[in-house]
Amino acid sequence: MAKDLSDYRKSYEKQELLENVCPENPLELFQTWFLNADNSNMVDESNAMTISSIGLDGFPKSRVVLLKKYTWEGFIFYTNYNSEKGKAIEANSNICLSFFWPALEQQIIIKGNAEKLAENLSDGYFESRPDGSKLGAWASNQSSVVTSREELDKNLFSFEKKFEGKEIIRPQHWGGYLVKPISIEFWQGRPNRMHDRIRYTLEKDFSWKIERLAP
């Protein structure tokens, strides 16, 4: 099986990113871009992001998860701490987040360090989830091998019975991570593959160095 994709072409011509519009703090620019994507009718799930980590087998692995909050400190998402992703972060907390909004011809690439959220913050978010999602956090031993779909459904049913008429509390193996950025790159598609790439790098005095990268 083979398919030649050499002729696939797209010209990026929608926007530009110049230094004179870049604020000192990249979180400001992130918010501007994110809100623009979120308010656009061309972007579905603007908070979908790719998380890349180094697995216990030494290989990088990327998967899409949902950003649930961003603050001046960084970016928050939730997962099963015992999952392949959680074990990878436990062993090496240096990870990469990336957002790609093709309709806007924009990417954001974030390098940072992931740390577990305080338990009360994970509790607060867990309480806001629909009951089905809460039960799913109990029923799925994320990343483990299962014999069939039926096994998953049986697990879910057992926890539905266990918590019937009761408060569904957060399992200790499930919670949030805060990714504190050390580098944020903003990529804006431009014609002739001469894309705009602006990188912010965190300095020792907690200021941000702004540099343009060649495309």
Digit-coded pLDDT (tens) for 84-111: 999 999 999 999 999 999 999 999 999 9
| pLDDT at 153 (0 to 100) | 93
The residue segments making up the domain with residue 117 are 19-129+172-212
- Give pLDDT, residue 10: 85
Give the model's pLDDT for residue 13: 87
- Beta carbons within 8 Å of 47's beta carbon, 6+ residues apart: 34, 38, 66, 67, 68
pLDDT value at position 11?
A: 86
pLDDT at 107: 98
The set of catalytic residues is: 193
Q: Does 148 map to a domain?
A: no
* CATH assignment of the domain containing 85: 2.30.110.10
> Looking at residue 48, what is its pLDDT?
98
Q: Which residues of the chain have pLDDT under 50?
A: none
Give which of 59, 39, 24 is closest to 202, Cα–Cα: 24
Residue-wise pLDDT tens digits, 60-89? 999 999 999 999 999 999 999 999 999 999
- Is 104 within a domain? yes
Let me know if residue 149 belongs to a domain: no
Decide if 66 is inside a domain: yes
Q: Is residue 162 part of a domain?
A: no
Q: What is the pLDDT of residue 139?
A: 93
C-alpha torsion sign, points 140, 135, 79, 33 = positive
Domain-embedded: residue 190: yes
Whether 121 is in a domain gets the answer yes
Count of the separate structural domains present in the chain = 1
From residue 181, alpha-carbon distances to 51, 76, 189 in Å are: 13, 11, 23
* Token duo for residue 134: 């809460």
Within a domain: 123: yes
Confidence (pLDDT) at 141? 86
pTM of the complete model: 0.93
